[in-house]
Structure 1
Amino acid sequence: MTTHRILTPDVARGIMLLAIAVANSVTVWATNIDNPMVGTHIGIVMNDSLWDKIAIMIGAMFIHVRGLPMFATLLGYGMGMILVREYHRKNPYKRILARRYAALAAMGLIHLVFLFFGDIMFMYGILALHVTMIANRSDRLLLTVAGVLWIAGGGVTAALTLLGWTGTSAYGLGYVEDQLVMGETFLMTFPVQYVSSATTIMPAILVGFVAGRRGMLETPEPYLRIMRWWAIIAVAVCFIVGIPLGLASMGVIGGELVWSAINRVAGLVTGPGLVVLLFYLSRWLQQHHKQHVLPVRMLVALGRMSMTGYVLQSVLFTALVLPWGLGLGSGSGAAVAMLMGVAVWFLTLIIVYAWSLTGRRGPLETIHRRLGYSRPTTALRRYNGRS
């Protein structure tokens, strides 16, 4: 086991939050009942704007259905790391994992109801609890389950997309209708949401869990070949699927709904590969002694406080973008919506880095640990400890 915190998960979480902020800004936060997105799933082109077209191409290739599979992979990897750590300490690892991810689900539920109906923490916490139940099963069995679910999830996702289901909603009616009612609606349709997530997100969690249990990022040498293949698959999906999706969304070619369905299916397999690509980036940074430069330190701080950063995005989007906030970028084209997503992410980066200078954990990370561990040890309190 390594005794120091590896760089890759923190860098990956920080970049993942950028992808999530941009994707949510374009498809959810910046939508407005006065100008809802019609005819495209990844943004709109207003007045034949070249900048909107460029934004749509960037989003199609690198943003949409990229951040969430990466989040799922990282979630699973963290679970695998915790299992190995607690097993070697002779602690009841299943109980620890269950408490930790039950706490994540509880915090996600509050976020879902009161701040952002598109929350992912609640459902990911529920799925992580299921992984806890089979945490001691063989890698072969877990990867077989992942493969079966991926195939089933592809069919479910494609069907929902072709039927016109996008899971988005336009803002403009006020907090109660826009947020509380939508949050309640999600809970009422939880069984459908659960089946969809269990067949689409669970595979990436399981793959990440197996990788974390093996310590692939800490000791990558035995796994470099499979890691390269994951990276190749991710790059291939970004270009082979992303380019025609972008062109179809701009009306250059037909079949936008079909390409959107293909992207929502193929994009699910990009999570592990994108983590691998960021592993290569992190290794390069460390080999060239760049991990201590300010931008990297800021990114790592955000990665370590990813829960705080994620919820902070909802607060900032609510205050800055929604029609009943400042309305900046509300109902805009893809370029402005993407710019607002980047701006919100950058603000979270600055705020979280400033907080990290105090030497304390993030506020939500602190709450999460207090809920997830009944008797926190000194090792669990340390800011620079492994998690």
Structure 2
Amino acid sequence: MGNIPSPIKGSNRLIWIDAARGFAIFGIFIVNIGAFGAPYFLYGGEGGVWSSNVNQTIMTIIDIFFQASFYTLFSMLFGFGFQLMKDRLTMKQVEIRPFLFRRMAILFLFGCIHAFLIWHGDILLSYSLTGFILLLFLRVKRRTLLVWGLSLLFLGTIFITLSLFNMKDYLGWINTAAIDQAIINYQSNDYGIILGQNYQDWMYSNGGIGIIFSLLFVFLPLFLIGMYGARTVVFHQPEKYRSILLRVWWISLFLFAGLKLGPYLFGNPLWFSYAQDNIGGAASAVFYATSITLLAGFSMGSRVIQPFVYVGRMALTNYILQSIVSFILFYGIGFGLYSKTGPVLHIGIVLCLFTLQILGSKWWLNKYNFGPLEWVWRSLTYKKVQPLRRSQQQS
């Protein structure tokens, strides 16, 4: 039981998973860049600042098709991959819990560096902490995973939605003092001041019981649903189970449209925003995942998703790279564009950088087996330096 496994080789990977990861990295950046470039995501007031028709249209599109759709997709994929790794460790007769615990501990270190030295909006910290909790569910039956996942998702959503409804007359408050302070501090060329503001924003988002609630009622249910998906044969043999995937596709599309687009027919009330994001976001994540899985079954579709495969195979590196570039662009220690840009320019930045990430990831993977950070993560996890450069037989 002391064997150390080797990483999954490219030929044994499910291509749709890498494509979905890459697509999620794109969608996450679409949402994150607005929060990276201005304080309004945290403290309110974006409607008054970005009030032009073009900006309002872009924000509406982001809210419907991107907001809470891609961290949910990435979270489900994380749970899916967690289960795949557990199954593989079992086949190799490796001690599962110590191995996965070590993997999550290393991810926790990545998360701490990212959250406190680069950007407060980090998800790696939450993923690693939720991963520790997920160790308790390794031997739970498949159906029980789904029951737990859906129960936690709906319980958390109902609780928050009812709370917001009771407070609906007080929602939409704009914290002008916090906005002004954030603009001053992030435009500073003093890294210490920037870090102080970053920590303040992290505490505002995660302080108190906020992070505990998120772990248990946001991330954990999505991870469990992902684990459930990995224990079914549908996503492992999509060509054989295409009819089932199509049913899932239609159901998720219906829920996606109803919960993400539907609220706009009734004035998009703020008190419903949590349900719109949590349940609607989960539905849209399933819709995107099944869409990519179905596309992967066709030659034309596989060519369409291939650019996302390159990015997805280096998801950790590309995620951190987006934050580093945004840090340089927006904060005073770099170009100082914080609060000076809007949705139009944000979308332009995302499209340019993501295109470069596709090209760069393709180039890198032609020469190397893993992305740089993936290589570090794997080497530390397996307690052995992994071969980074591709061999001539692989090329």
- With normalisation by structure 1, the TM-score equals 0.82
Could you tell me how far 1:353 is from its partner in structure 2?
2.9
Aligned length: 366
Give the whole-Å Cα distance in 1 for the aligned partners of 2:120 and 2:93. Answer: 39
* Residues 1:161 and 1:69: Cα distance change in structure 2 (over 3 Å): farther
| Partner residue in 1 for 2:59 | 56
Query: Are positions 1:73 and 2:76 aligned together?
Result: yes
Query: Are positions 1:131 and 2:138 aligned together?
Result: no
| Partner residue in 2 for 1:356 | 365
| Partner residue in 1 for 2:207 | 189
| Map 1:17-36 → 2, pairs under 5 A | 17-26=25-34, 28-32=35-39
RMSD: 3.4
Checking the alignment, whether the CA contact within 8 Å between 2:73 and 2:282 is kept in structure 1 is: no
Higher helix content, 1 or 2: 2
| Partner residue in 1 for 2:349 | 340
* Residues 1:53 and 1:165: Cα distance change in structure 2 (over 3 Å): closer
* Residues 1:367 and 1:186: Cα distance change in structure 2 (over 3 Å): same
| Partner residue in 2 for 1:151 | 154
SS at match of 1:283: coil
* Residues 1:142 and 1:243: Cα distance change in structure 2 (over 3 Å): closer
* Residues 1:347 and 1:160: Cα distance change in structure 2 (over 3 Å): farther
Give the whole-Å Cα distance in 1 for the aligned partners of 2:145 and 2:389. Answer: 32
Could you tell me how far 1:117 is from its partner in structure 2?
0.6
Give the whole-Å Cα distance in 2 for the aligned partners of 1:382 and 1:130. Answer: 35
Q: Which amino acid aligns with 2:295?
A: L
Give the whole-Å Cα distance in 2 for the aligned partners of 1:129 and 1:88. Answer: 22
Could you tell me how far 1:205 is from its partner in structure 2?
0.8
Sequence identity (%): 21
Q: Which amino acid aligns with 1:107?
A: F
Q: Which amino acid aligns with 2:296?
A: S
Give the whole-Å Cα distance in 1 for the aligned partners of 2:336 and 2:197. Answer: 20
Checking the alignment, whether the CA contact within 8 Å between 1:86 and 1:93 is kept in structure 2 is: yes
* Residues 1:46 and 1:376: Cα distance change in structure 2 (over 3 Å): closer
Q: Which amino acid aligns with 1:372?
A: T
**What are the Cα deviations for residues 89-132 of structure 1, in whole angstroms up to 9, with x where unaligned?**
22222322222122112211111110111100111111112112
- With normalisation by structure 2, the TM-score equals 0.80
Give the whole-Å Cα distance in 2 for the aligned partners of 1:47 and 1:38. Answer: 13
- Which of 329, 338, 355 lines up with 1:320 in the alignment? 329
Could you tell me how far 1:36 is from its partner in structure 2?
8.8
Could you tell me how far 1:382 is from its partner in structure 2?
7.5
Checking the alignment, whether the CA contact within 8 Å between 1:330 and 1:337 is kept in structure 2 is: no
Could you tell me how far 1:351 is from its partner in structure 2?
3.1
Checking the alignment, whether the CA contact within 8 Å between 1:313 and 1:348 is kept in structure 2 is: no
| Partner residue in 2 for 1:15 | 23
* Residues 1:356 and 1:228: Cα distance change in structure 2 (over 3 Å): same
Checking the alignment, whether the CA contact within 8 Å between 2:234 and 2:244 is kept in structure 1 is: no
| Partner residue in 1 for 2:218 | 200
| Partner residue in 2 for 1:243 | 261
Q: Which amino acid aligns with 1:236?
A: F
- Which of 273, 276, 287 lines up with 1:273 in the alignment? 287
Superposed structure 1 runs of 4+ greater than 6 Å apart: 380-383
Unaligned runs of 5+ in 2: 1-7
Give the whole-Å Cα distance in 1 for the aligned partners of 2:36 and 2:163. Answer: 22
Give the whole-Å Cα distance in 2 for the aligned partners of 1:118 and 1:25. Answer: 10
Checking the alignment, whether the CA contact within 8 Å between 1:308 and 1:365 is kept in structure 2 is: yes
Query: Are positions 1:101 and 2:115 aligned together?
Result: no
* Residues 1:4 and 1:256: Cα distance change in structure 2 (over 3 Å): same
Query: Are positions 1:257 and 2:270 aligned together?
Result: yes
Checking the alignment, whether the CA contact within 8 Å between 2:97 and 2:135 is kept in structure 1 is: yes
Checking the alignment, whether the CA contact within 8 Å between 1:146 and 1:204 is kept in structure 2 is: yes
Could you tell me how far 1:11 is from its partner in structure 2?
0.7
Checking the alignment, whether the CA contact within 8 Å between 2:118 and 2:323 is kept in structure 1 is: yes
Query: Are positions 1:210 and 2:228 aligned together?
Result: yes
**What are the Cα deviations for residues 199-241 of structure 1, in whole angstroms up to 9, with x where unaligned?**
0121111111122233532223675555334423432344333
* Residues 1:180 and 1:298: Cα distance change in structure 2 (over 3 Å): farther
Give the whole-Å Cα distance in 2 for the aligned partners of 1:106 and 1:47. Answer: 40
Give the whole-Å Cα distance in 2 for the aligned partners of 1:297 and 1:147. Answer: 32
SS at match of 2:297: helix
Give the whole-Å Cα distance in 2 for the aligned partners of 1:47 and 1:134. Answer: 47
Checking the alignment, whether the CA contact within 8 Å between 1:7 and 1:282 is kept in structure 2 is: yes
